[in-house]
Structure 1
Amino acid sequence: MIKRRPLLGGMLAAGTVALSGARARAATPGVTATEIKIGNTEAYSGPASAYGMIGKTEAAFFKMVNDQGGVNGRKINFISYDDGYSPPRTVEQVRKLIEQDEVACLFNDLGTPTNTAVEKYVNAKKVPHLFLATGANKWGDYKRYPWTIGFQPSYRTEAEIYGKHITAATPKAKVGILYQNDDFGKDYVNGLKDAFGDKYDTMVIKAVSYESTDPTVDSQLVTLQSAGVDVLVTAAIPKFAAQVIKKLADMAWKPQHYLTNVSISVGAVLKPAGLKNAVGIITGAFIKDSTDARWANDPGMKEWRAFMDKYMPGTDQTDGNTIYGYAAGQTMLQVLRQCGSDLSRENIMRQATNIHDFVPATLLPGVKVATSPTNYHPIRQMQLAKWNGAHWENFGDVIEGSGS
């Protein structure tokens, strides 16, 4: 007995250490019995500040969820910082979220250049980098960056859809491209190359870029007009998209205009540019347009309007960023519900990449959220739409891209 007591004590001590280690491994930063911390970076200031409404909508959405009792018995602590659409600031803010605030995951961080700046760091830390507010095609690279996943349709797929429509509608078009000089803008160039194939060099007669720090894009538009462009594809953030629409009217230049989906908000882009000036613009849509009477009695939009009236009173409901933010928030909530009691970072990522045909309230009919361990492009469907002066009018079938 005397000899066995130290052995038994040693076994108990070892068991206690092992149990403590298991608990430590199981514990997730930002997760307690009553709370889940979720981090976000947003452009509340700077050249892309129109997107700040997305973060504001998501904060209001999570407040609504908390008022309804939270998720799995926990309240959501949504911590959102302004990075001004500046990659160096994004690095600072993301480090703060992970190392100081100790969030469980990052959600819907805005911007292609900003997320590019932190992608390697976040993946090295093995922090879920979920549903980025950017359609850069590279967010689907699950082999190199398994902790990063996009949300909206790929810009490259979107541009390919435009290219196919241009080929069918105006096969002799003289195409010009105005694009932001980063991965966001270059995805549109590559998408048109995918669509036009070996005819790209003859169909695209001029491609010019701009920097997000430029004051205007006036000189680029003059260059495109001088080249004889009659079909214009614009891949620009809201500030510059509004400039383009207004400048085209000032120049009395009327090319057929295709505009990136991320800059089609009625409130944030078209109103400042002049609603009449935007007539005829074609885009690819995946969310419902609040200015379209077709959705007046739609259950999903009624749900969104009730949320807006209660949690964002006085907010411009023609701003499509609120509709987008609501859809993104619902998708994040779905992931947390799927997690159940296991809120380890590994399981959060596992559930984010195992979503089966989830339909947020504000997506167009036929558009759904679906992911898998080898599909990091959650939304792959779009429908073409044309601005008629009052609302976006959808036409044609819902088109599914490859998401490759």
Structure 2
Amino acid sequence: MIRRLVAATLATVALCFPAISAEKKYDQGASDTEIRLGQTMPYSGPASYVGIVGRTQTAYFRMINAQGGINGRKVTLISLDDAYNPAKTVEATRRLVEGDGVLATMSSNGTVTQAAVQKYLNSKGIPQLMIGSGSSRWSDPQHFPWSTGALSLYVTEGKIFGRWILKNRPDAKIGVLAQNDDLGRDFIKGLREGLGEKASKLIVSEQMYDLTEPTVDSQILTLSRSGANVFFNASTGKFVTQSIRKVKELNWPALHYLMSASATRMLLEGAGLQNAKGLMTVQSVKHVASPKWKNDPDVKTYEAFRAKWSPDTPADDDVGFYAYSSALLMKRILEACGDNLTRANVLKHATNLKGQTSPILLPGITLNISPDDYAPVTKFYMGVFNGDDWEVSGDLVQ
């Protein structure tokens, strides 16, 4: 009887005085009322089309704040222009950390630009998350644990296409166009690994370009005269549209493979959609302009967001959908952190995403980031552009 009375009394006390919640923990950039994030974007310069990412994500967090924020906290995303210039990236990133006091950076764009601040951010223990680049340096948790990527690794993509060539085009003579930086070198490394011992025989020409060059017309002309019947195109920005146009102008009948991050509607339209007919690339994402995704719930939710909060983002461009999906993933990470908004806890949740879905990913593909392996996507479909839409193979390749 006494035991029952004590138990009842304790239960009553528990109802009147709920358990005290865990202690709140904050690092610079977080408080009871705010979470401050930063990023650098090429709003100007040779990769200015990527500025859509920053504008879309800024709009996304405006929407989240209007809905009450994340766990009751307003999210402030400070997005600065670096013009795709590493020196400006360093200056802007130092301002974000030392002036604006951000908790973490997210979705900053570019291999060479983010490489310029990787050691700085890692030395300070500041999460450098979901970088808009597929460089292998973003999957090096042993040396750079605070840096993670958002795109499939360039090495992985190059390797997959190399294997595909061995299986499907044994007569291939490959001409390569690549940026003269980590991006281009990663793609060539992956392609050579995929081709194995036949790489030196199958690759007949490699042409590099610098971002400061006005065009890649001379490189395309050289490749077309090399005897190559396969064109491996690892270009970005304006060089994508230039290369597609030049291939058409020269009537070069090569099988044209374009790196997946550059296979966006905006860049293809710039070159002329019919000129892009026959392009191949690996596929891991939904293309918002495709009729096949018109009634997809994730695409419809994105379109409702875009129309209301980011109407200047082109409705049919994939870059905005990618930006939205990355921002949504960042929201999930911050929600999971709860009241423990330390940089270490943010990194913990950002590097434990096994089997995580994302609005932009194709069915059957998930993110699989773990503390030992930061490669976000390792499985793909193969796609061919028919002049209006991407026709995707039925089997996953890896």
The normalised TM-score by structure 2 is: 0.92
Give, in angstroms, the shift of residue 314 of structure 1. Answer: 4.5
Give, in angstroms, the shift of residue 396 of structure 1. Answer: 3.6
Check the 8 A contact 1:291/1:390 in 2, yes or no.
no
Indicate whether 1:200 and 2:202 are aligned.
no
The secondary structure found in structure 2 opposite 1:142 is: coil
Name 1:158's counterpart in structure 2: 157
Name 1:117's counterpart in structure 2: 116
| RMSD between aligned residues | 1.3
Indicate whether 1:235 and 2:234 are aligned.
yes
Structure 2 counterpart of 1:325, which letter?
A
Structure 1 counterpart of 2:58, which letter?
A
Aligned-partner Cα distance in 1 for 2:357–2:25:
31
Name 2:370's counterpart in structure 1: 372
Aligned-partner Cα distance in 2 for 1:62–1:220:
42
Aligned-partner Cα distance in 1 for 2:81–2:165:
38
**1:269-321 deviation per Cα after TM superposition (whole angstroms, max 9, x unaligned):** 11110100000000112211112111111111111111111111243112110
Name 1:214's counterpart in structure 2: 213
Name 1:11's counterpart in structure 2: none
Indicate whether 1:254 and 2:253 are aligned.
yes
Check the 8 A contact 1:238/1:262 in 2, yes or no.
no
Aligned-partner Cα distance in 2 for 1:371–1:67:
30
Structure 2 counterpart of 1:293, which letter?
P
Name 1:320's counterpart in structure 2: 318
Aligned-partner Cα distance in 2 for 1:72–1:127:
21
Unaligned runs of 5+ in 1: 1-22
The secondary structure found in structure 2 opposite 1:330 is: helix
Give, in angstroms, the shift of residue 138 of structure 1. Answer: 1.7
Name 1:17's counterpart in structure 2: none
Aligned-partner Cα distance in 2 for 1:355–1:382:
18
Check the 8 A contact 1:86/1:114 in 2, yes or no.
yes
The secondary structure found in structure 2 opposite 1:41 is: strand
Structure 2 counterpart of 1:184, which letter?
L
Aligned-partner Cα distance in 2 for 1:331–1:375:
18
Aligned pair partner of 2:273 in 254, 258, 275: 275
The secondary structure found in structure 2 opposite 1:149 is: strand
Check the 8 A contact 2:82/2:92 in 1, yes or no.
yes
Correspondences of 1:175-194 after superposition (within 5 Å): 175-194=174-193
Name 2:15's counterpart in structure 1: none
Count how many residue pairs are aligned between Structure 1 and Structure 2. 376
Indicate whether 1:148 and 2:137 are aligned.
no
The normalised TM-score by structure 1 is: 0.91
Structure 2 counterpart of 1:90, which letter?
T
**1:361-399 deviation per Cα after TM superposition (whole angstroms, max 9, x unaligned):** 121111212222102112222221111011111114223
Aligned-partner Cα distance in 2 for 1:102–1:39:
9
Aligned-partner Cα distance in 2 for 1:170–1:310:
47
Structure 2 counterpart of 1:336, which letter?
L
Check the 8 A contact 2:41/2:83 in 1, yes or no.
yes
Name 1:93's counterpart in structure 2: 92
Check the 8 A contact 2:26/2:340 in 1, yes or no.
no
Check the 8 A contact 2:230/2:254 in 1, yes or no.
yes
Identity of aligned residues (%): 39
Indicate whether 1:53 and 2:52 are aligned.
yes
Unaligned runs of 5+ in 2: 1-22
Structure 1 counterpart of 2:191, which letter?
L
Aligned pair partner of 1:359 in 357, 360, 377: 357
Name 1:226's counterpart in structure 2: 225
Aligned-partner Cα distance in 2 for 1:209–1:315:
32
Name 1:137's counterpart in structure 2: 136
Aligned-partner Cα distance in 2 for 1:164–1:317:
35
Name 1:265's counterpart in structure 2: 264
Structure 1 counterpart of 2:64, which letter?
V
Name 1:174's counterpart in structure 2: 173
